[in-house]
Every structure is written in structure tokens, then in C-alpha cells.
Amino acid sequence: MNGFLKSLIGLCLFFTLTGCIGEDYDVGVPTAHLNLDISSVQLTEANISWDTASEDVQQKIEDIEKFASSLDEIKVFSNQKASLDFKENEENGGDIWTDPKITVSLLKDDQRIELPLDNSREFQFPTNKGSYVLKVEFINSAGSAQYLGNVLIDLKSKDKDTLTWDLKGDKPDPITPYSVTIGYPNIKIQEHNLLESK
């Protein structure tokens, strides 16, 4: 009787572990998110070749630059840092991707600019302004997924974005109104110094 019970418990444990392992790797296409300062934008799926036990997704877009130009514009600054985040797709469940290979590049007029990605999935946009197609590729054992964004890189205006104060000696803090613009989308802050000079 004891032998039968041990076998039954062992069998239950085996099926439980098998189910857990299968569930971890049986995941669908993740969603890709571009993080910019205080905002996050979900990138649009393009070419997909993804095959797991729960789903088989095959999607082909011939002209990705033309397709990306129809997407909402994402405004960034030259040399702005950004990061990527991949999340579980609510429609298919699961969030385990084993050692994915992720690449980031910008496309413009049949030219490709590779953007180095660090271990925390951070990268930096180049200095050249203009409209670009942001292309992110995610590859793992289940297949490959491509994500696109319609990016506009703009130069920062030194006159608008730099506030210089000379606080040396007996000079008071600035007494004229000034504004500070930060983040994306921009947040404007109006400040005024109420202290009087002695």
C-alpha cells in the first residue's frame, strides 16, 4: 500500500512539474514598449513569425518604412536616452522568454543605423535630426517579432532649454519670471522669485 501511495504522489508531482515547465515556454508574442523619460509608447507589431503550442502567428509587411510612416509620430530629442520593455500580451498569457536576442535600429532612405543596446535594454538616439523608422527585433526559441515606431528626432534649442543664473557675490536670485520645460510630453513650470534684494 505504501509503495502504491508513493508512486501516486510521485506521478502527481511529475505531471505538476511538467505542466509548469510547459506553461513557462508556451508563451505568445510580447508587446514592446519604448520608455522616454516620464512616458511610455507601445510600438506597433510588424513582421511576426511566432510558433508555440498555444498560437501560431505569421504576419508579413512588405514595405515597413511606408507602413511606419502611417503611425502616430513619436517625438524625441537628439542624444535622448530611451529603454525598451517587453510585456506579456494580455490575449495569450505567459511572460517568460529565454535569452531573447534584441536589436534596435533606425531606418531612413534605405539606410540603417544600428543603436547599441546595453544589458538593461537602454540605448541613445543619434544627434541627426529628422524622421526615422525605429525598428526593434525580438528573437527567441519561439520565433521572431518585429516592432516599429515613427520617430521624429528634433534638436534641443539652447535658448529655450538652458536657464543660466549667476549667483556669485551679492547678486540676488533672478527676480523676473521664467519657465522650465521638462520631460515628454512637456511639462511647463512657471516660477517667480518673491525675495527682495537687500
Domain co-membership, 69 together with 36: yes
Supply the pLDDT for residue 190: 46
Same-domain check for residues 106 and 122: yes
Copy the grid coordinates of residue 32.
Answer: 514592446
Q: In CATH, what number is assigned to the domain containing residue 74?
A: 2.60.40.10
pLDDT tens-digit map of 171-188? 555 555 655 555 555 554
pLDDT digits (tens, 9 = 90+) for 139-172: 988 889 999 999 999 987 544 445 555 555 565 5
Q: What's residue 23's pLDDT?
A: 42
* Strands 130-140, 122-124: pairing kind: unpaired
Please indicate, yes or no, if residue 121 is contained in any of the structural domains: yes
- Are 138 and 178 contained in the same domain? no
- Domain membership of residue 54 as a residue range: 28-154
Q: Give the pLDDT of residue 173.
A: 59
Q: Minimal CA–CA distance to 117: which of 126, 105, 107, 127? A: 105
pLDDT, tens digit (0-9, with 9 covering 90-100), for 17-72: 444 444 444 567 899 999 998 899 999 999 999 988 778 899 999 999 999 999 99
**Spatial separation of the C-alpha atoms in residues 13 and 20, rounded to whole Å:** 11
Q: Is 35 in contact with 115 (CB distance < 8 Å)?
A: no
AA identity, residue 159? D
Question: What's the rounded Cα separation, in Å, for the pair 79 and 1?
Answer: 71
Same domain, 40 and 77: yes
Q: How far apart (Å, rounded) are the C-alpha atoms in residues 49 and 29?
A: 9
Residue 105 included in any domain: yes
What is the per-residue pLDDT for 180? 57
Residue 90 domain flag: yes
